[in-house]
Chains A and B, each alone.
Chain A
Amino acid sequence: MAMAPPRKGENWELRQQLNSEYRDKRADAIKRVIANHTIGKDCSGLFPDVVKNMQTEDLEQKKLVYLYLMNYAKTQPELVILAVNTFVKDTADPNPLVRALAIRTMSVLRAEKILDYLASPLSKCLKDENPYVRKTAALCVAKVFDLKPELCVEYGFIETLRDLIGDGNPMVVANAVAALADIHEASLNLPPSPPSSPGGSSSPPPSARPSSSLFIIDQPTLTKLLVALNECSEWGRIAILSTLARYKAVDEKESEHICERVVPQFQHVNAAVVLGAVKVIMIHIKNVTREDLLKSLTRKMAPPLVTLISSPPEVQWVALRNINLLLQKRPDILANEMRVFFCKYNDPPYVKVEQLEIMVRLANEKNVDTLLGELKEYASEVDVDFVRKAVRAVGQVAIKIDEAAERCVSVLMDLIETRVSYVVQEAVIVIKDIFRKYPHSYEGIIPALCSNLEELDEPEAKASLIWIIGEYAEKIENADELLGTFLDTFKEESYPVQLQTLTAIVKLFLKKPDESQGIVQKVLQAATKDCDSPDVRDRAYIYWRLLSSDPAAAKSVVLSVRPPISLPQTTVAPAILEELISEVSSLASVYHKPAATFIGKGRLGAEEMHRRTLDAEEDVSREKALQTVVAGNQAENLLDFDADDEPAPTNGGSSSRGLVSDGVISSQAIASVAKSTNPLDELMDLFSTASMTAPSTQPIAPPSISAGVTGLTGSTSAASSDPFASLSGLSSPPTGNGHGIQSPPAYQPQQQQKQTSGGGASDDLLGLF
């Protein structure tokens, strides 16, 4: 600790006053010392002078001196011993407040020397007649354990604590539970043999290190806890509830019992108690099989959550995050409550965004009209982010509910007519998703879309429109003209737009070969000669090769039928959802990522660490990385990733000819993306895809590395940095095998491209290099 040079004048003056013969002067000086401390000034130099004032009849002054000691004992460990006598004397004071204060201060000092003097007064105080002293002493045990666990064992403090769970005073019970929970956690962190550095502030998953748990909840304890639950203060209830969440019920009956006893806690005024109770129920409900109980529990869970929505915005936000999570697990709990989540203009944006997500989750055929009306309303607001999310929500509804798709499209067309730039762009992106889900259903709107061509200036919107033009090139008379405009500015466009232009023109050529010979030549030239992105260049080479060697194959690859997309049920992977559900009400549920990824030390790999450092730099990227961690796919970015494709790599991997190890590819993809400093946003999104495929592929793939390596890095990263790569990649249908092309029966874009480049285009590539 760097000691700032003390301002001589003030400290000197204080020292004089602390040693003054007048009591009020000394009292005043102590206050000033504390005042200086509270604003962060270093007052450690005054230690001996303050300690002199310990012995006083004035309780208030004593408190302030003790406060000072708590904060500075660490800096002056030798001098602390001066205070011990007074401490020990105070632990036997007739005034319980003084007794409690003394015992508490002693345990906070964190000085080994003091601890030796603490043990016997502490065991006395644990059995004090006054509940205030007992409850203070209970917490002291946890602190002592943190510093010197063997002392607690030696004096049997932990057994005493366990006895205190049966204490007559609920507040003592609450503190005993809290202390035991702390000790339990600290004991998990203890290194196996020498307890050198007890961390005490993290909780590794029990599976990670089976430990000598010191707080085993047995059935008698459980009974005591359940009884105390209804008598405690709200804070005690929170402690008990979080302990109950940890308890593993022996049989179904016990789970039922716990649920029944905990349910009344839903009726508590304190939001933290409510959410804590929800957590306990969510954990123990897993063991409940009785249909009626299950139903009644699910029914009872929703209302208290809804009540939290009337709370101040920060509580509301936490509640909404949790509701969002619970809905992914149990979509039925709030089926009729969508209106509660309607956004008000003046709600804080973070609340509105959550409400929007929940509304989409609750959408069904019955309420979809109301919902669309609302969403249209939101799209006219000022907050650009929120408006975009509202437009996206319209698209999500369209994909979720088939019957409503048409109405959604007409809402989107209305929105496009507003000509507000960001609304139009977002709507175009969304419509692209709708075209993917319902191909050839809404071709009538294409002219209207194309008329907005020049208003688009964002890459994603541009790319979306280009994709649409490419898809429906045969229906659009002037498709070559439209695409030509993009070709003219090819070099200035961003990579996703370049990639999409390339693909769209190739599609156009395949559909109308006579009219577009020239344009396809031009784009292939531009992409291979003038483009500095290896992804674009490689893809151009692949197309070129395909087109020149076997147009039929090219057709079957580029123009194949894609699997329709669907709205992911969850924003996080199912396994992680399960884990998050059991962490409902905690930080993890707010971040929607498992606690192990952000709490705790030393258990994370370097890569994780690196990622977390990056996270701090930007909230946005944190959000993204968060999704990366959970490897979930983003509901908003439907094109990036298809839930349907998820199992595909496994099949593809096993049936592929094993030319190149898929596992290697995937992990390399991850590595390259993880290390990459490429600023592209999509990169992060796709990363989630890549890392998702990795674990499923690795075990199956033959561990061979072969010739394809040359083109490998380029093409994999091509696939991962561009959302549309998956589009064209997906074009490879299973029937593709029948044709004489080199492409193996691969379903996954990465593989598809890699294989093609590794096999078919390798001469070209090698020639190039």
Chain B
Amino acid sequence: MTRIDGIIILDSNGKPLITSHFSTHPPTYASLHIDAFNTARQRSSSLGKELDPVLWVNTLSRSGGGMSGAGLCHLEREGLYFLVPVGQEVNPLFAFSFLDSFLDTLQDYLGEITETTIKDNFDIVYMLIEEMLDEGHPMTMETNMLKEIVLPPSLVRKILNAAGVSGLQTHTTTPFTAPIPWRRSGVRHSTNEIYFDIEESLDAIVDRRGNVLSSSIWGRVNCNSRLSGNPDLLLNFANPKVMDNCAFHPCVRYNKWTKDGVLSFIPPDGKFKLLEYQAVAGSSKNQVPVALKASLAVEENGGRFSLTLSSRTNARPLEDLAISIFLGKGTTSVSATATGDRKPLSHGLGGHGVKEDGVGEGHVGGGTWEFDPHTQVLKWSLSSLVSTERAPTLTGSFTSTEKQPIPSPSFDISFNMQHHSFSNLRVDQLKVQGDVMYKPFKGVRQMSRAGKIEVRW
């Protein structure tokens, strides 16, 4: 019921890097899935479509005779494909959740997930899978505990191996005796510190008159805990009411939250996601802090555009702004000028002309723009924007081999706002209780960014 069949990792060409956990299935089981996936992927990419996240694969049944089938959940990460066949009536989200935490763990172990790192550390990856999955049941999923069992690759270990010294296992011999499943016992840190990152992202659709059609703010509180012993924490928010639809890490005592609106928990060691929430919709909060006035006119074999950007918030400067749009198939080149208050930019001032091959790149006071002829995406980037400065603009035109180019009907906007939270959520205080005798260093940081914001033209 809550069981997956196994896990397959494919490289970017669809060749298997790792297939694990299919020992109870017919030998062809994994390859059937790989073939089915590759065929489906090729077919859909030739049609320019995307695959449904759960495919249906016909397989031979285990007891032989007759056809059987399995759902195939898959996702792509860093150009690699991760497949999880489920031969039973299983919650597909279970498969995706498993993949998700598997990938997190992998990232934690390998630093980055690439074909090379997986190939170089295949034994670790394999052992991890074996430890995380027992015949499709999740076994040990908490990174804290996994590290006791499967040692992460480290330089020291590599050297030791190279020197022929092995068998140096430093892990404790009594794993999982800790009473709290998410925290290993006997944690020690020389400096006791805990950090909370409040990250919020804003999704919005803005119509061509600048009205916000729909918007929502999704927030999460990430925590990095480096505390010794078993500290029992009590986190108070100044305004817990701004949070709606909260989802908590299992360590949070839910009853306490519903009763008092405080988070009471014994944290896992290291980084973890403490809670996710949706900010309560408010009139001003869901305002998009940036206004883009855009006009785009499609003409024969091309078109022209004119964008004006202004900040609507006095709170904080908007940073790393990027406005991008897909200009349609067949777009060959773009020429544009950006204007704005001149300010010292790291790239220097003054515009570059359009290069011969049509790849444009320019630097001016109003930021920089570039056009990628492969993806046909025009991207205008500005390092920062405040409400007081003259509104930067980008005007220009593009040419296309298509007679009637069809650009994407909307611009995507992204930006960051440091030390700001859309919902204005604030941490009031953090109390440390439990069997600890120290005063930890505490830190809270706020970060807001654009999630998926699109402005139609």
Could you say which of B58, B181, B248 has the most chain A C-beta atoms within 10 Å of its C-beta? B181
In the assembled complex, which residues on chain A have CB atoms less than 8 Å from the CB atom of B249? 269
In the assembled complex, which residues on chain B have CB atoms less than 8 Å from the CB atom of A124? none
Interface residues of A in 365-388 (CB under 8 A from B): 370, 373-374, 377, 380-382, 385
Instruction: Report the Cα distance A1→B64, complex, angstroms.
Output: 13
In the assembled complex, which residues on chain B have CB atoms less than 8 Å from the CB atom of A438? none
Which one of B45-53, B336-344, B363-371 is at the A interface?
Answer: B45-53
Question: How many residues on the B side are at the interface (Cβ–Cβ under 8 A)?
Answer: 104
In the assembled complex, which residues on chain A have CB atoms less than 8 Å from the CB atom of B96? 271-272, 312, 314-315, 318
Interface residues of B in 120-142 (CB under 8 A from A): 122-123, 126-127, 130, 134-135, 137-139, 141-142
Q: Mark B49-74, 1 if CB is under 8 A from A, else 0.
A: 11111101110011101111101010
Instruction: Report the Cα distance A38→B139, complex, angstroms.
Output: 21
B283 within 8 A of A: no
Question: What residue in chain A is nearest B451 (Cβ atoms)?
Answer: A310
The answer on a CB contact under 8 Å between B181 and A139 is: no
B276 within 8 A of A: yes
In the assembled complex, which residues on chain A have CB atoms less than 8 Å from the CB atom of B179? 169
Question: What residue in chain A is nearest B123 (Cβ atoms)?
Answer: A31
A248 within 8 A of B: no
The answer on a CB contact under 8 Å between A34 and B177 is: no
Question: What residue in chain B is nearest A105 (Cβ atoms)?
Answer: B130
Instruction: Report the Cα distance A151→B387, complex, angstroms.
Output: 76
Could you say which of A181, A197, A243, A587 has the most chain B C-beta atoms within 10 Å of its C-beta? A587
**B114 CB, min distance to chain A CBs, angstroms:** 16
The answer on a CB contact under 8 Å between A304 and B213 is: no
Question: What residue in chain B is nearest A276 (Cβ atoms)?
Answer: B91
B427 within 8 A of A: no
Of the residues B63, B89, B134, contact of A586 by C-beta under 8 Å: B89
A-B contact count (CB 8 A): 300
Question: What residue in chain A is nearest B212 (Cβ atoms)?
Answer: A339
**A92 CB, min distance to chain B CBs, angstroms:** 14
What does DSSP make chain B's interface, helix, strand, loop or mixed?
A: mixed
A342-B214, A601-B68 known; A314-B53 Cβ under 8 A = yes
Question: What residue in chain B is nearest A304 (Cβ atoms)?
Answer: B245
The answer on a CB contact under 8 Å between B97 and A270 is: yes
The answer on a CB contact under 8 Å between B247 and A268 is: yes
B353 within 8 A of A: no
Q: Mark A301-315, 1 if CB is under 8 A from B, else 0.
A: 001101100101111
Instruction: Report the Cα distance A586→B179, complex, angstroms.
Output: 32
Interface residues of B in 229-254 (CB under 8 A from A): 244-250, 254
In the assembled complex, which residues on chain A have CB atoms less than 8 Å from the CB atom of B17? 38-39
The answer on a CB contact under 8 Å between B31 and A40 is: yes
A67-B126, A381-B409 known; A590-B92 Cβ under 8 A = yes
The answer on a CB contact under 8 Å between A242 and B2 is: yes
The answer on a CB contact under 8 Å between B122 and A35 is: yes
Instruction: Report the Cα distance A373→B61, complex, angstroms.
Output: 50
Q: Mark A196-238, 1 if CB is under 8 A from B, else 0.
A: 0101111100000000000000000000000000101111001
Interface residues of B in 2-35 (CB under 8 A from A): 2-3, 16-20, 23-24, 27, 30-31
The answer on a CB contact under 8 Å between B135 and A139 is: yes
In the assembled complex, which residues on chain B have CB atoms less than 8 Å from the CB atom of A60? 123, 127, 151, 166-167, 169
A24 within 8 A of B: yes
The answer on a CB contact under 8 Å between B56 and A622 is: yes
A545 within 8 A of B: no
Of the residues A230, A270, A377, contact of B254 by C-beta under 8 Å: A230
Instruction: Report the Cα distance A601→B218, complex, angstroms.
Output: 44
Of the residues A310, A319, A370, contact of B278 by C-beta under 8 Å: A310
The answer on a CB contact under 8 Å between B88 and A201 is: yes
In the assembled complex, which residues on chain A have CB atoms less than 8 Å from the CB atom of B54? 314, 317-318, 587, 590
The answer on a CB contact under 8 Å between B169 and A612 is: no
The answer on a CB contact under 8 Å between A307 and B276 is: yes
Which one of A93-101, A482-490, A502-510 is at the B interface?
Answer: A93-101
The answer on a CB contact under 8 Å between A38 and B20 is: yes
The answer on a CB contact under 8 Å between B169 and A59 is: yes
Q: Mark B270-292, 1 if CB is under 8 A from A, else 0.
A: 00010110100000000000000
B110 within 8 A of A: no
B195 within 8 A of A: no
The answer on a CB contact under 8 Å between B1 and A182 is: yes
The answer on a CB contact under 8 Å between B205 and A344 is: yes
**B63 CB, min distance to chain A CBs, angstroms:** 5
Of the residues A108, A230, A269, A303, contact of B135 by C-beta under 8 Å: A108
Of the residues A56, A370, A380, contact of B409 by C-beta under 8 Å: A380
The answer on a CB contact under 8 Å between B247 and A274 is: yes
Question: What residue in chain B is nearest A601 (Cβ atoms)?
Answer: B61
Instruction: Report the Cα distance A358→B411, complex, angstroms.
Output: 25
Interface residues of B in 154-194 (CB under 8 A from A): 161, 164, 166-167, 169, 171, 173-177, 179, 181-182
The answer on a CB contact under 8 Å between A34 and B126 is: yes
A201-B62, A238-B94, A268-B250 known; A70-B175 Cβ under 8 A = no
Instruction: Report the Cα distance A257→B151, complex, angstroms.
Output: 44
Interface residues of A in 306-364 (CB under 8 A from B): 306-307, 310, 312-315, 317-319, 339-340, 342, 344-350
In the assembled complex, which residues on chain B have CB atoms less than 8 Å from the CB atom of A583? 89
In the assembled complex, which residues on chain A have CB atoms less than 8 Å from the CB atom of B418? none
Interface residues of A in 251-294 (CB under 8 A from B): 264, 267-272, 274-276, 279
The answer on a CB contact under 8 Å between A131 and B177 is: yes
Instruction: Report the Cα distance A185→B275, complex, angstroms.
Output: 35
Can you add 5 more A-B contacts, CB < 8 Å, to A235-B137, A350-B52?
A: A130-B175, A199-B63, A590-B54, A601-B63, A619-B52
> What 9 A-B pairs come out closest when comparing CB atoms?
A314-B53, A339-B214, A132-B176, A58-B167, A235-B138, A272-B93, A24-B164, A272-B94, A272-B97
Instruction: Please name 16 pairs of A and B residues whose Cβ atoms are closer than 8 Å in the assembled complex, sorted by A.
Output: A24-B164, A39-B19, A64-B123, A71-B23, A201-B68, A235-B2, A276-B91, A276-B94, A306-B245, A306-B278, A345-B408, A345-B454, A347-B452, A598-B56, A599-B88, A601-B68
